[in-house]
């Protein structure tokens, strides 16, 4: 059990920030090996990845705390609104998608989006604007489906809409903070209000948390550098392979 949680931590830390979809990979792992994270472990791993963002972007996060009504804070609000609206509208379909029914299609969509962004020459339209934030917020809402990468879709949406590469990368990770917090609140709600049971493997939880935190930091730093080059083609090819693998698994079932 501890080993499985450690694997979940590594997968969560890597795929939460690399443009390959963390939820999609966790669903795939569950399908292949029967590895499933409990609600408590899910909260713990979300907390680990949240801390990864805070550590890497500590200057930006500190600035947001010091200036809660700053221009950047308002852009985060603008981005979060379409995300929440889209998630609420699509929630019935989203719940169904966690069975893995749409996984090949979603992986394929992510692969195409990354490839198109890599092929298109990005021309920044000056300062990172509210328009860019709103478009990235829409992409984040659609990325609620397992297989559609949150970081990949938001960064691609920003670059395709003309946002500066460096700013789009940073904003993509900053805008994940309220969404990760909201996910944690919803999971805590299920435990407290609905009385869902908590099963904890202490050593596994500790190692999983540390793994998700450390791997998350590495993944964020890597993605910030990669975004400046807008070269996601290798991730695109990887997702094409994962798409075929997922189709094969579903066919064999």
pLDDT in tens, 86-101: 999 998 888 888 877 8
| 19-32 pLDDT per residue, tens | 999 888 888 887 77
Average pLDDT over residues 118-128: 76
Q: What is the pLDDT of residue 21?
A: 92
User: With bands split at pLDDT 50, 70 and 90, how would you rate the model's confidence at 183?
Assistant: confident
Average pLDDT over residues 63-75: 94
- For residue 169, the enclosing domain spans 2-252
What is the rounded CA–CA span in Å between residue 31 and residue 226? 30
Nearby residues of 159 by Cβ (< 8 Å), 6 or more positions away: 117, 120, 122, 165, 168, 227, 230
Is residue 141 very low, low, confident or very high in pLDDT (cuts 50, 70, 90)? Answer: very high
Cα–Cα distance for residue pair 223/28, rounded to 1 Å:
23
CA atoms of 115 and 47, how far apart (whole Å): 31
146 touches 23 (CB < 8 A): yes
With 70 as the cut, is the pLDDT of residue 77 above it? Answer: yes
The domain tally of the chain equals 1
Residue at token pair 């909201």: 182
Tell whether the model's pLDDT for residue 35 goes beyond 70: no
Residue 38's pLDDT is 65
Residue 123's pLDDT is what? Answer: 67
C-alpha distances (whole Å) from 216 to each of 2, 39, 45, 61 are 19, 20, 10, 17
Count CB neighbours of 231 within 10 A: 13
Which tokens belong to 74? 């308002």
Residue 113 pLDDT class (50, 70, 90 cuts): very high
Cα–Cα distance for residue pair 12/7, rounded to 1 Å = 8
Is 181 within 8 Å of 194 (Cβ atoms)? no
pLDDT of residue 211: 94
pLDDT of residue 2: 72
Q: Count CB atoms within 10 A of the CB of residue 113.
A: 23
The tens digit of pLDDT for each residue in 202-218 reads 787 889 999 999 999 99
pLDDT band at 71; cut points 50, 70, 90: very high
What's the predicted TM-score (pTM) here?
A: 0.90
Mean pLDDT computed over every residue of the chain: 88
Mean pLDDT of 132-136: 97
């Amino acid at each position: 059990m501890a080993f499985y949680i450690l694997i979940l931590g590594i997968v969560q830390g890597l795929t939460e920030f690399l443009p390959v979809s963390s939820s999609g990979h966790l669903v795939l792992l569950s399908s292949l090996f029967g590895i499933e994270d409990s609600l408590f472990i899910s909260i713990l791993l979300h907390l680990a990845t949240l801390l990864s963002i805070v550590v890497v972007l500590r200057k930006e996060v500190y600035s947001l705390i010091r200036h809660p009504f700053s221009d950047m804070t308002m852009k985060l609000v603008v981005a979060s609104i379409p995300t929440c609206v889209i998630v609420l509208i699509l929630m019935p379909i989203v719940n169904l998608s966690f069975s893995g029914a749409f996984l090949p299609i979603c992986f394929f969509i992510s692969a195409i989006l990354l490839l198109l962004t890599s092929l298109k020459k990005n021309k920044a339209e000056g300062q990172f604007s509210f328009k860019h934030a709103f478009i990235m917020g829409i992409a984040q809402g659609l990325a609620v489906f397992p297989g559609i990468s949150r970081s990949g879709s938001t960064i691609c949406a920003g670059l395709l809409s003309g946002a500066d590469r460096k700013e789009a990368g940073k904003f993509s990770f900053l805008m994940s903070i309220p969404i990760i917090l909201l996910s944690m609140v919803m999971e805590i709600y299920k435990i407290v209000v609905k009385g869902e049971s908590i099963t904890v493997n202490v050593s596994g939880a500790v190692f999983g948390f540390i793994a998700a935190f450390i791997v998350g930091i590495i993944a964020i730093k890597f993605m910030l550098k990669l975004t400046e080059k807008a070269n996601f083609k290798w991730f695109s090819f990887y997702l094409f392979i994962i798409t075929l693998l997922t189709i094969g698994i579903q066919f064999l079932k």
